[in-house]
């Protein structure tokens, strides 16, 4: 049972103004009489996505087999060359290969959708942020943003800030919601795809789309994930300036701060990180650094997304 011989009968070629190449190659193939059309298609020697013999940018995107005269024949090599299969009972089949351009984003050499390349898109979002700390242009040092009386501005100073949104999509055979959403709102504890530690946050996406693969004969899932990149100082950590209406005295007692008239402050005073007041004229400040999101190794949590660029 099998192929006795296959012979090229008619090649054709096309190209368009976008340099997409196509065409057909028509073969005449002899198979033993116990072979049906499925066997012929699967064993003719050609595969979907197989490159053209002289142009790797053009691949097989359709294979069609046809037995135009379903009459038993005796195989004889049409080239006249000596052939060990001469004299075998056969049917003659026409095998038509249609070629088209190779698209690496939607095609796979295996035909399985789970082997398709990962789709990545990236965009920036602009948002307004209150400015507690700014750069002193005279020396490049960070200083608190205060008015000449040493108090915060009202209304506060703001600036435009950037945040990156990276969307990633890929195909998978299975989908486990508990595992997929377990890392929602986690930040990276490792350098991930070139992004520094603590600058990328995973946002749980919507329920994935369930699709069916004719090649696999089963369902698969189109998974989508969203990663938010915060390149600003501290990444996703919170970095508030130490200021309060209260302070800590030398005996570690909490005291209410009063102005020169003995009245409670109407604006919080700067503190030094240990509860002591910093004079407004000192030009210094203390800034905390809090990790407000859980962290995990993204290389472990997303092993198939470690080399996106």
**Same domain as 29, residue 95:** yes
Which of 101, 127, 145 is the endpoint of a domain? 101
The domain boundary, picked from 57, 81, 101, lies at: 101
Give domain status of residue 107, yes or no: no
The average confidence (pLDDT) of the chain is 89
Tokens for 91, please give them: 């049917």
User: Which pLDDT value is given to residue 104?
Assistant: 72
192 and 51: one domain? no
Ranges 2-16, 140-154, 202-216, most confident: 2-16
Question: pLDDT for 104-127, tens place per residue?
Answer: 767 776 778 888 889 899 999 888
Q: What's the pLDDT score for residue 133? A: 83
**39, 67, 101: which is the final residue of a domain?**
101
Range in 22-36, 137-151, 244-258, 285-299 with the lowest mean pLDDT: 137-151
Is the pLDDT reported for residue 151 higher than 70?
A: yes
pLDDT at 280 > cutoff 80 = no
pLDDT at 7 over 80: yes
Q: Which residue has the tokens 């989508």?
A: 224
Query: Considering Cα of 226, then 229, then 235, then 238, what sign does the dihedral take?
Result: negative
pLDDT at residue 203 tops 90: no
- Record the tokens describing residue 86, joined without a space: 């001469």
Tokens of 224: 């989508």
Answer yes or no: do 166 and 195 share one domain.
yes
Largest CA distance in the chain: 117
What is the 3-class SS of 118-177, one letter each residue? CEEEEEEEEEEEECCEEECCCCCCEEECCCCCCCCCCCCCEEEEEEEEEEEEEEECCCCH
pLDDT of residue 168: 92
Residue 106 lies in a domain: no
Is residue 282's pLDDT more than 70?
A: no
**Same domain, yes or no: 122 and 181:** yes
On whether both 76 and 29 belong to a single domain, the answer is yes
Supply the range of the domain harboring residue 274. 242-286
Task: Give me the number of domains the chain comprises.
Answer: 3
pLDDT digits (tens, 9 = 90+) for 164-201: 999 999 898 988 888 778 888 999 999 999 999 999 99
Picking from 61-70, 120-129, 199-208, 213-222, which range would have the lowest pLDDT averaged per residue? 199-208
CB 182 within 8 A of CB 148: no
Q: Is the pLDDT of residue 230 over 70?
A: yes
Question: What pLDDT, on a 0 to 100 scale, did the predictor assign at position 76?
Answer: 95
pLDDT value for 150:
76
Q: Is the pLDDT of residue 158 over 70?
A: yes
Q: What is the pLDDT of residue 260?
A: 87
Read off the pLDDT of each residue in 209-220 and give the average, rounded to a whole number: 88
Q: Are residues 79 and 45 in the same domain?
A: yes
Judgement on whether residues 275 and 129 belong to the same structural domain of the protein: no
- Among 79-83, 184-188, 230-234, whose mean pLDDT is lowest? 230-234
Please answer whether residues 113 and 171 qualify as being in contact, where contact means their C-beta atoms are separated by less than 8 angstroms.
yes
The pLDDT, as a whole number, for residue 161 is 85
Q: Given a cut of 90, is residue 94 above it in pLDDT? A: yes
Rounded to two decimals, what is the model's pTM? 0.69
């Amino acid at each position: 049972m099998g192929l006795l011989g296959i012979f090229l009968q008619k090649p054709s070629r096309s190209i368009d103004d976008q340099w997409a190449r196509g065409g057909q190659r028509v073969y005449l193939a002899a198979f033993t009489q116990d072979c049906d059309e499925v066997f012929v298609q699967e064993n003719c020697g050609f595969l979907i996505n197989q490159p053209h013999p002289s142009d790797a940018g053009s691949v097989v995107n359709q294979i069609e087999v046809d037995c135009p005269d379903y009459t038993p024949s005796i195989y004889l090599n049409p080239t006249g060359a000596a052939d060990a299969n001469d004299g075998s009972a056969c049917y003659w089949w026409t095998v038509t290969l249609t070629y088209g351009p190779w698209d690496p984003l939607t095609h796979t050499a295996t035909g399985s959708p789970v082997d398709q390349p990962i789709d990545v898109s990236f965009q920036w979002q602009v948002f307004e942020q209150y400015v507690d700390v700014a750069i002193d242009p005279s020396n490049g040092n960070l200083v608190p943003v205060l008015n000449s009386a040493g108090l915060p501005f009202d209304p506060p100073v703001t600036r435009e800030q950037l945040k990156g949104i990276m969307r990633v999509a890929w195909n998978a055979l299975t989908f486990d919601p508990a595992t997929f959403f377990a890392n929602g709102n986690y930040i990276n504890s490792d350098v991930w795809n070139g992004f520094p530690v603590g600058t990328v946050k995973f946002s749980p996406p919507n329920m994935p789309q369930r699709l069916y693969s004719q090649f696999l004969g089963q369902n698969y899932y189109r998974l989508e994930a969203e990663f938010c990149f915060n390149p600003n100082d501290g990444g996703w950590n919170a970095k508030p300036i130490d200021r309060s209406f209260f302070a800590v005295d030398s005996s570690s007692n909490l005291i209410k701060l009063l102005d020169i008239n003995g009245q409670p402050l109407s604006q919080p005073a700067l503190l030094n990180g240990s509860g002591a007041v910093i004079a407004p004229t000192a030009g210094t400040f203390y800034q905390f650094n809090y990790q407000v999101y859980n962290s995990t190794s993204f290389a472990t949590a997303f092993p198939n997304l470690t080399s996106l660029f």
